[in-house]
Structure 1
Amino acid sequence: MPAFAGSAAEPPLADSYHALLHLRGCACTTVPAPSEVPLYVSECELPMIDVGCLTTGTGGAEKRAACAAAIARAAEEWGFFQVRNHGVRQELLEEMRREQARLFRLPFEAKATAGLLDDSYRWGTPTATTPQQLSWSEAFHFPLAGISGNSCNFGELTTLRDVTREVAGAMSKLASTLSRVLAETLLGHPAGERFPEGCDETTCFLRLNRYPPCPFSPDAFGLVPHTDSDFLTVLCQDQVGGLQLLKGDRWVAVKPIPGALIVNIGDLFQAWSNNRYRSVEHKVTTNATTERYSVAYFLCPSYDSPIGTCKEPSPYMPFTFGEYRRKVQEDAKRTGKKIGLPNFLV
């Protein structure tokens, strides 16, 4: 498979980059050369947890308790962890990767204007005011209900629907299982099958990501530093690498592990857990020569769902997911970046 998609497929990210340079008063019109000295970032292996006893229901109470404790410990110490025996077939993930490549190799005009996947295509960062706020990436970001909806247009990619539906279903099952285990650890009793409340096919999202090769690497972001505004994220990344997270005051690169899925805590779970579980800032770096693909599942409630707390008193004032999202969007438009949970501290 070639490293580059056809030029007609590429979103106009370079144009946006240059436009943002001119906004800052830079008169340069040529592509700046990549930095000759790469910034050193240490590579890490996230905690790896075998969740087979949770996904298959085997292994007994003692093994399940040890697994739950390991998940909670990773959520507290890292905010990220990896899982194996997660119930999402490797062959399915490989097929998803092939279908993504076909999807993103469509002409840019078709992706942007043909109404594909419920008009869910997006690229770059519309609210960016500086080059450092521009995400060098493109994505289809859509609710799970959109996968099987009658209005969802898959174009000529007839096999994409079935593959995407199966991936979403498997990731959804895994995310629900992990979130209940995390909640149970704090509550001291089962959280119930509907935890978190208000999450269903109309509220949870799947995001198909592509990070094109970037001539400005390593001076541009594939995805700008951020935290996730959900309860839980399940991520399948390819072997190119590029995901980095903030550990203490240092950025560390996450080593890709074949067959493993990455799970990270979102802002809502940090708030619900009274800061026991950590929603950690992370980013994606660009690659000068090789494109990168990933699939992310976001466990989100409805906009009118109150987030609540595992135990009173909470350091956060009461808020709904809709109020949280509106504030995030307002801050992005006003400042160019997300502020997030600090807005809701008591």
Structure 2
Amino acid sequence: MVVKNTNQLEESTNFTSDFKAKVKALDDSKASVKGLVESGVSKIPHIFHTGKLDIGENSASDSNSNVPIVDLQDIQINPTLRAEVIDQITSACHEGGFFQVINHGIPVTVLDEMIDGIRRFHEQDADVRKEFYTRDKKKKVAYVSNGTLFSGQAANWRDTFGFAVAPDPFKPEDIPPICRDIVIEYSQNIRHLGFKIFELLSEALGLSPSYLKELNCAEGLFILGHYYPPCPEPELTMGASKHTDSDFITLLLQDQLGGLQVLHEDKWVNVPPVHGALVVNIGDLLQVYIHSGSH
């Protein structure tokens, strides 16, 4: 029995050492998951093996009723419409914490071009992408594969290009030319929309529209552009593991392929992509605030 346990310990140690070595090799390559695809891999490395996936279990069909669509058209000039929107947001925050917004003021062309711009960045030559690869959290602009790559958990089949917008923003010249103009335009638009969402959330809490903004809740903004390269064995891994967001709110822009699921009443619910819509996730901090009844 001791021998068996010793062998198991040895196997576990060897597996852990091999796992760490492969994680380091991926990070050192600076080519990310896209680099693996470009190298022609037909089998994904075991560091991406998620184990038994439960995405098909406890799943509900597509349902807009679980992730409601809130129309912000004319709410600045029509008090009745604004009151209706506040009621919809209040209900969505209490029931699931997710809702989609349309007619939010950001042109659809800007959203489409932002998706294309992020795709263009990730599909550049590896040598160009590598120039931006870093795990230095002080950097305002960063390209990285898996922010939690060294956590010991299975890696996601995903690369990310991110940049700080507020309170200490990136410099325009630090954004690569291939997507610079749209990143700047989208950043300005999404920050303005963030202020608008915080006003609506404040009113949904029964507070003055400026309440959350005066708490500086809207001052931190970091944008992440995720990219999911084609995977030769998609049944073994995931682009994003199940998780919660700790921020006050997260605004999610989906492309038309979709793929986003949210957990609602212990069932995974697909969020059908709506062209021109943004998904709002109120996040852990604000959800605690709402359910605690702190006004």
When the two structures are superposed, what TM-score results if normalisation uses the length of structure 1?
Answer: 0.63
| Corresponding residue number in structure 2 for 1:250 | 267
Q: Which amino acid aligns with 2:284?
A: D
Structure 1 residue 113: Cα displacement: 3.3
For the residue of structure 2 that corresponds to 1:231, the secondary structure is coil
- 1:90 corresponds, among 86, 96, 108, to 108
The answer to whether the 8 A contact 1:50-1:83 is kept is: yes
The answer to whether the 8 A contact 2:248-2:285 is kept is: yes
Q: Which amino acid aligns with 2:191?
A: S
- 1:20 corresponds, among 18, 22, 47, to 47
| Corresponding residue number in structure 2 for 1:10 | 34
- 1:259 corresponds, among 273, 276, 281, to 276
| Corresponding residue number in structure 1 for 2:99 | 81
Using the alignment, how far apart are the partners of 1:110 and 1:226 within structure 2?
31
Q: Is the helix fraction higher in 1 or 2?
A: 2
- 2:84 corresponds, among 66, 74, 97, to 66
Distance change in 2, residues 1:199/1:63 (3 Å): closer
Distance change in 2, residues 1:126/1:262 (3 Å): same
- 1:241 corresponds, among 248, 255, 258, to 258
Out of 69-78 and 119-128, give the one that drifted further.
119-128
- 2:150 corresponds, among 103, 108, 127, to 127
Structure 1 residue 147: Cα displacement: 6.1
| Corresponding residue number in structure 2 for 1:141 | 162
For the residue of structure 2 that corresponds to 1:197, the secondary structure is coil
Aligned length: 251
Structure 1 residue 47: Cα displacement: 0.4
Using the alignment, how far apart are the partners of 2:202 and 2:84 within structure 1?
15
Q: Which amino acid aligns with 1:169?
A: Q
Using the alignment, how far apart are the partners of 2:267 and 2:211 within structure 1?
37
The runs of 5 or more residues in structure 2 that have no matched partner are 1-30
Q: Which amino acid aligns with 1:95?
A: E
| Corresponding residue number in structure 2 for 1:271 | 288
Using the alignment, how far apart are the partners of 1:181 and 1:8 within structure 2?
39
Structure 1 residue 266: Cα displacement: 1.0
Structure 1 residue 235: Cα displacement: 1.3
Using the alignment, how far apart are the partners of 2:122 and 2:283 within structure 1?
27
Structure 1 residue 11: Cα displacement: 3.5
For the residue of structure 1 that corresponds to 2:274, the secondary structure is coil
Using the alignment, how far apart are the partners of 1:101 and 1:246 within structure 2?
27
Structure 1 residue 144: Cα displacement: 0.9
**Matches of residues 1-346 of structure 1 in structure 2 within 5 Å?**
10-12=34-36, 18-20=45-47, 39=56, 41=59, 42-45=61-64, 46-54=67-75, 57-59=76-78, 61-114=79-132, 118-124=140-146, 125-131=148-154, 134-144=155-165, 148-149=170-171, 152-154=174-176, 156-157=177-178, 160-192=179-211, 194-197=213-216, 199-200=218-219, 203-275=220-292, 310-311=294-295
Out of 182-191 and 43-52, give the one that drifted further.
182-191
The runs of 5 or more residues in structure 1 that have no matched partner are 1-6, 25-31, 277-309, 312-346
Distance change in 2, residues 1:20/1:161 (3 Å): closer
Q: Which has the higher contact order (CA 8 A, sep 6+)?
A: 2
Using the alignment, how far apart are the partners of 2:145 and 2:43 within structure 1?
10
Query: Which protein shows a greater Rg?
Result: 2
Amino-acid identity (%)? 29
Using the alignment, how far apart are the partners of 2:48 and 2:276 within structure 1?
40
Q: Which amino acid aligns with 2:194?
A: A
Distance change in 2, residues 1:63/1:69 (3 Å): same
The answer to whether the 8 A contact 2:32-2:144 is kept is: no
Using the alignment, how far apart are the partners of 1:147 and 1:197 within structure 2?
16
